[in-house]
Amino acid sequence: MARIPTSRFSFYLKIIKRFAPYLLSRLKVLADALDIRDFLMIGGLGLLCYGLYGYDPRLSYCTGGVFLMIIGYLMRGK
């Protein structure tokens, strides 16, 4: 079994420790910006388009595009 040299492992550990606060702060900003409704909306739209794709691919792309345009128009004021 190949072993990783200790010096290389400590180098990567230092990089991780240095960038961990930055990554955690970015994840916190992302978590504060998103809501459960966003995931439910995107997930529902994806499932709708996937289900229609089995029936007719053109229908699924058109339906998904129309729903995304409607959502975009409704979110203009926010």
Task: Report pLDDT for 50.
Answer: 84
Confidence of residue 56 (pLDDT cuts 50, 70, 90): confident
Residue 3, phi then psi, degrees to nearest 5: -110, 140
How much is the average pLDDT of 50-64?
Answer: 86
Question: What would the pLDDT profile of 3-54 be if each residue is shown by its tens digit?
Answer: 666 666 777 778 788 888 888 888 888 888 877 777 788 888 888 888 888 8
CA distance readout (Å), 59 to 54, 65, 71: 10, 10, 18
